Copies of this chain bind each other. A is one copy, B any other.
Amino acid sequence: MTYCVGIRLNAGMVFVSDSRTNAGLDQIGTFRKMIVYERPGDRFIAMLSAGNLSVSQSIRELLQVESLPSEAGGEPLTIWNATSMFDVARLLGATVRRVQIDDGPALQKAGVEFNASMILGGQIRGEAMRMFLVYAAGNFIEATRETCYFQIGESKYGKPVLDRLIVPTTTLAAAAKGALVSMDSTMKANLSVGLPLDLLVYRDGSLANSELVCIDEQNPYFQMIRSTWGQRLREVFDGMDDPRWDDGETMHPLRTASTRYESLRKIANPTDRIV
């Protein structure tokens, strides 16, 4: 399994990926799932991938050389000369389809699903930052202000915290912190998501010079996140009013009138109740 998050904020973009791959519980490995293609001052492109590792590694490699015929009849389109991230997403989609054509039938014969999903984010000079979620069929969707982040892989455990914390005006540092909290919640619940993490932070307009760190078990900041978040969560939880069952006064009564439990079924023994 895998867990990756990409967030597009007003201030820039944040990417986090885990490193664990597994074929069953007894065969785990460590592979990076993040790659950056950049030409400083001209373009910055980051990709996170989930799914079958042979498929996503092939996609990653081939994307560097994939080309599509130019519509204007000029040079073929590549990630190195594309003038929009939309075109880069099209190229990635074409690459996915190419790997599907090459490997898909043999994988299917072997009973292995052609399984891949990618978060593609970046900026090309003259254009705003854009982020896409690319599916195994090569189709894709783009992040918007309403939905400013994408997840791939084991997304459910870490979603509530992102939903509550991340909006487009969140700072890059806060979004990086939030993505690490989300990753921590996921790693606690699913053994197939594991350290080290790759964390990449891109500032809008910088067209390179992104911050890229590898976070392992000894990382002091991540250790602080792991220990502090759980403890503070507990403090908040303890500080919230408990429900009250007695009839004392409370601002937030839990018991309210309901007819939901009135219809008890009659059963043979009059002391027995089914509610």
- Interface, chain A (partner B; CB < 8 A): 32, 35-40, 42, 64, 80, 156-161, 163-165, 171, 173-174, 176-178, 180-181, 185-186, 188-189, 196, 198-199, 201, 211-216, 218-225, 228-230, 232-245, 251-256, 258, 260-261, 267, 269, 271-275
Contacts and interface: CB of A to CB of B under 8 A. Distances in A.
A160 B173 contact: no
Query: Of residues A38, A165, A186, A254, which shows the largest number of chain B Cβ atoms within 10 Å of its Cβ?
Result: A254
Given A171-B242, A240-B229, A254-B215, A163 B177 contact: no
A42 B221 CA distance: 54
Contacts of A252: 220-221, 223-224
A221 B243 contact: yes
A267 B64 contact: yes
Contacts of A188: 160, 163
Contacts of A221: 241, 243, 252-254
Contacts of A253: 220-221
A163 B201 CA distance: 30
Contacts of A244: 173
A228 B186 CA distance: 23
Contacts of A267: 64
A180 B38 CA distance: 46
Contacts of A234: 164-165
A234 B160 CA distance: 12
B213 A258 contact: yes
B254 A213 contact: yes
A63 to B, nearest CB: 10
A178 B232 contact: no
A164 B157 CA distance: 13
Contacts of A35: 274-275
